[in-house]
Amino acid sequence: MRWAIVDTWTMARRDFARWARQPGPLVVALLFPVLVLLMFGYLFGGAMVVPGGGDYREFLMPGMFALTMLFGIETTMVAVSTDAARGITDRFRSMPMAPSAVVAGRTVSDLVNSALGLAVMVGCGVLVGWRAHGGAGAAAGAIALLLLFRFAVLCLGVYLGLMVHGPESVVAVQILVWPVGFLASTFVPPETMPGWLGAAAEWNPLSPTVSAVRELFGNPGATGDSWIAQHAALMAIVWPVLLVAVFAPLAVRRYHRLAR
């Protein structure tokens, strides 16, 4: 266990060093959610009405926090698939290191990146008028739920990055990220959608995290009558834990089988 932790930290430091040498992609990844926020907050926000009342930007910000955690899956997939395509992952497999270190190291570094991106989004939210009204403890709980969801997305991203054949194949998965991010309670309440579409949005793993974060931050949000809408806080934990339980072992197993 001790060597596994040391190897994981070594792999994470590799990614930190890459960011220091090539900060461009990191800066773009941090600023892209800000662009989406400004577009929806100011371009479309004036036409949005929150059921039950409330400022739309305060309704929007928790959704944008969660969406930022989801969008990071693309960066993870590209990095993992690029290492595999260039033979770097095979070189790691030939070294005397813990088999889980490559997967865990990438997860740790991207989680740090996500925390930085979340801090940027919180700062932008404050600038556009968003405020957390639930107190420091509730705000800390909301941040923890967001990072838990991000951790689950990272496990999925590492697995998919090891499964696809080269960085070009990532484009197909990137196209699917947008429907998943938009078919949720991110920008509008599911109650405003047609019945079947609203049900699909409520069962999207992203929606419970968004709803729970809105509640913890004390921001306006609509609560549906379905079971999952009434238990958003519970499902905001269950969904990520389930994703980690499934895809973390699959990612390590796939790493073992890369040469087969």
Tell me how far apart the 2 most distant CA atoms of the chain are, in Å: 59
Q: What is the pLDDT of residues 164-217, one digit of tens each?
A: 766 566 677 777 788 888 888 888 888 888 888 888 989 999 999 999 999 999
Distance CA 255, CA 72 (A): 21
DSSP state of 76: H
pTM for the predicted model, two decimal places: 0.87
- C-beta of residue 82 within 8 angstroms of C-beta of residue 158: no
Q: What is the pLDDT of residues 73-109, one digit of tens each?
A: 877 888 888 887 778 877 887 788 877 787 788 888 8
Q: What is the pLDDT of residues 1-16, one digit of tens each?
A: 777 888 888 888 888 8
- Above 80 in pLDDT, residue 44? no
Distance CA 232, CA 203 (A): 10
- C-beta of residue 252 within 8 angstroms of C-beta of residue 103: yes
Helices (H), the chain: 2-21, 23-38, 56-85, 88-93, 101-127, 136-163, 170-182, 195-202, 206-217, 227-230, 232-256
Token look-up 């196209």 returns 175
Which pLDDT score is estimated for 140?
93
- Above 90 in pLDDT, residue 55? no
